[in-house]
Amino acid sequence: MANGSYEYQKPDSCAFVIFGVTGDLTHRLVMPSLYNLAAANLLPERFCIVGIARGGMPSEKLRENLLEGLRKFATRPVEDEIAKRLLQCVTSIEADPKDPDSFDQLKSRLEKLEANRETGGNRLFYLATPPSGFAPIARQLGRVGLLREDGGAWRRLVVEKPFGTDLASAKALNDELLKLVTEHQIYRIDHYLGKETVQNILVLRFANGMFEPIWNRHHIDHVQITVEEKLGVGTRGSFYDATGALRDMVPNHLFQLLSLVAMEPPARFDAHTVRSEKAEVLAAIQIQSEAEALQNSVRGQYIAGRIGDSGLPDYRSTRDVNPESTTETYAALKLTIDNWRWAGVPFYLRTGKALGLKRTEVAIKFRQAPFAMFSCTPVETLAENYLVMGIEPTQGITLQFNTKVPGPTVRTDGVQMKFNYKDYFQAEPATGYETLIYDCMIGDNMLFQRADSVEAGWKAVQPFIEAWKKAGHHGLQTYTAGSDGPTAAAELLTRDGRSWRKLD
């Protein structure tokens, strides 16, 4: 993202090695993104894709399997010529971290392939596996020397989410990886950073002169970050029941939004500076005691209801979910940031599944104008001033302000000024992973999480994790699928004299 010549720079020749090549993530996101990059002529000149299959699979079979996935998940009609060009790059190699010898063989086969394809020894290892695979795979790659940067070639490790399940496990994983590679070789993916509307938060704040002077506690009353989903837990019962809404969404996706909104202006638009400012603001989130965490949070679990035309059963009757589960499918938190810009400005975060609407947005609520001047007019209240960054499905920016209602008396009403991306820009349909994968190949890690950010995120949510675990059933709210969440989430704000922004 950092480079001005983004659209034209071709990545260095390299080998793109995928662990988990037959998995969902590869089919849904990785291959469709590589296809889109191929269509835009943004893949390296000399390139090979190595699919690591645990049980072994002939290359031809893997190509067929990937083509099938591509036809299903590509974001645009698949053109035979482009697909052929891409799939010609694919080779299957067998390796399993449980069988260390297989990594010695992987090394020699990969080196031969690299020599054949003249990729220059640059390698990207993409860990598209369940998290339990991250450390064992990296350990084996390290042991056989595949991660060592030598001979002028780069070696990169792309790690998918979730990165740890709490502070201790995230630290342990960072420690383990950092024994094998240096920080600049690790690309921790958070797919939120691949979204144009998320990247635009930086541009909105720092490429315009009018927002930054009022972007502080003197003018902003509070910030709301909302990620609401209509989908229930579906077939992910076993993962989700061990994870819950907080771990699944907050330290990663919601904190990406928070850090972009709350960070100090970076002096330069480069990966180190931007990531340092993001890490700094995450580290400034006030760490709450468990008692404070209980007071400043709401967790809920959905019960049967209807979303649109379809009925959804109780969360607890989802396949692979414990019938007595206390896992939250909804979380709302109140956080504060201990620095000069934000002291006293609450950040309210909420996220949940099986809600009536799909909505991801950041709403900045400005302080109310003094009312005194209107006290001798028919105006009873002023509408709230919001700047709303719509991430999904509304992609755009809305400014809400008061205006005079035409007529002989002074009356006011709240109106909105709206910018919609689609009115101005015609983007090709994309997965959102293209930028991330492209950035891994050109070595720009601005849109990836650094170890310190990941740990600061977990540190801030850890008291909530602990407090909720101890509380068990106690305090767990229920909400009907298709509703707008537990009523207690509204109370989290009303007790502060505030309310969640209603959808337009």
Point out the residues that are catalytic: 253
**Pair 384, 414: CB distance under 8 Å:** yes
**Measured from the CB of residue 326, what is the shortest distance to ligand BG6 in angstroms?**
18
Close Cβ partners of 449 (under 8 Å, ≥ 6 residues apart):
163, 188, 189, 190, 252
Cβ distance to ligand BG6 smaller for residue 346 or 352: 352
SS (H, E, C) 195-241: CHHHHHHHHHHHCCCCCHHHCCCCCEEEEEEEEECCCCCCCCHHHHH
Task: Compute the distance between CA of residue 418 and CA of residue 382 in angstroms, rounded to an integer.
Answer: 20
CA nearest to 474, candidates 288, 326, 334: 326
Please provide residue 49's backbone torsions phi and psi, each rounded to the nearest 5 degrees: -110, 125
**Measured from the CB of residue 479, what is the shortest distance to ligand BG6 in angstroms?**
17
Please state the separation of Cα 488 from the chain's center in Å. 26
The residue assigned the tokens 């010549």 is: 5
Judged by CB under 6 A, does residue 434 bind ligand BG6?
Answer: no
**Measured from the CB of residue 243, what is the shortest distance to ligand BG6 in angstroms?**
8
**Measured from the CB of residue 152, what is the shortest distance to ligand BG6 in angstroms?**
36
Cβ distance to ligand BG6 smaller for residue 157 or 354: 354
Site string for ligand BG6, 158-197 (x = CB under 6 A): ---x------------------------------------
- Residues binding ligand BG6: number (CB under 6 A): 5
Helix (H) / strand (E) containing 272? helix 271-283
**Measured from the CB of residue 317, what is the shortest distance to ligand BG6 in angstroms?**
19
**Measured from the CB of residue 467, what is the shortest distance to ligand BG6 in angstroms?**
22
For residue 14, the cross-strand partners are: 47
Cβ distance to ligand BG6 smaller for residue 231 or 410: 231
**Measured from the CB of residue 286, what is the shortest distance to ligand BG6 in angstroms?**
25
* Cα-based angle 191, 196, 202 (whole degrees, multiple of 5): 100
Close Cβ partners of 293 (under 8 Å, ≥ 6 residues apart):
463, 464, 466, 467
Query: Which sign, positive or negative, has the C-alpha torsion 65, 71, 75, 78?
Result: positive
Cβ distance to ligand BG6 smaller for residue 14 or 227: 227
For residue 389, the cross-strand partners are: 362, 397
Cβ distance to ligand BG6 smaller for residue 383 or 430: 430
Cβ distance to ligand BG6 smaller for residue 156 or 353: 353
Query: Which sign, positive or negative, has the C-alpha torsion 338, 256, 157, 441?
Result: negative
Site string for ligand BG6, 234-263 (x = CB under 6 A): --------------x---------------
Stretch 27-46 residues interacting with ligand BG6 (CB under 6 A) = none
Task: Compute the distance between CA of residue 470 and CA of residue 478 in angstroms, rounded to an integer.
Answer: 18
Instruction: Tell me the CA distances in angstroms from 37 to 45, 83, 178, 428, one per residue in order.
Output: 12, 11, 30, 11
Judged by CB under 6 A, does residue 360 bind ligand BG6?
Answer: yes
**Measured from the CB of residue 353, what is the shortest distance to ligand BG6 in angstroms?**
7
Tokens linked to 168: 């201790």
Instruction: Tell me the CA distances in angstroms from 381 to 71, 386, 410, 414, one per residue in order.
Output: 55, 15, 12, 10
* Cα-based angle 360, 252, 317 (whole degrees, multiple of 5): 75
Question: Taking phi first (over 0 means left), then psi (-120 to 50 degrees means alpha), and beta for anything else, what does residue 164 get?
Answer: left
* Cα-based angle 216, 222, 226 (whole degrees, multiple of 5): 120
**Measured from the CB of residue 319, what is the shortest distance to ligand BG6 in angstroms?**
16
Cβ distance to ligand BG6 smaller for residue 353 or 501: 353
Number of residue whose CB is nearest ligand BG6: 248
CA nearest to 461, candidates 301, 293, 337: 293
Please state the separation of Cα 44 from the chain's center in Å. 26
Stretch 142-161 residues interacting with ligand BG6 (CB under 6 A) = 161
Interacting residue with ligand BG6 among 96, 114, 221, 229 (CB under 6 A): 229
Cβ distance to ligand BG6 smaller for residue 159 or 181: 159
Cβ distance to ligand BG6 smaller for residue 26 or 360: 360
Positions in the binding site for ligand BG6 (CB under 6 A): 161, 227, 229, 248, 360
